[in-house]
Amino acid sequence: MTPSLSLPRNRRIKQGRDFARTKAHGKRVHSGCLIANWLALPPGSPTRLGVITARKVGNAVLRSRARRLLREAFRVHQPDLNQPVDIVLVAQPSIVDKAFAEVEQDYLAALRKARLLKETP
* 76 part of a folded domain: yes
Strands 27-31 and 48-53: unpaired
Enclosing domain of residue 46: 26-114
* 74 part of a folded domain: yes
- Report how far apart, in Å, the C-alpha atoms of 54 and of each of 21, 41, 59, 73 are: 19, 26, 10, 19
Q: Is the pTM of this model over 0.75?
A: yes
Amino acid, single-letter form, for residue 18: D
pLDDT in tens, 45-96: 999 999 999 999 999 999 999 999 999 999 999 989 999 999 999 999 999 9
Q: Return the pLDDT at 6.
A: 74
CB-CB contact of 29 with 110 (8 Å)? yes
Domain total in the chain: 1
* 43 part of a folded domain: yes
Residue 4 in this model has a pLDDT that exceeds 80: no
- The 10 Å Cβ neighbour count of residue 74 is 23
CATH of the domain at 40: 3.30.230.10
Q: Lay out the sheet containing 27-31: strands in order across.
A: 27-31, 34-40, 85-91, 48-53
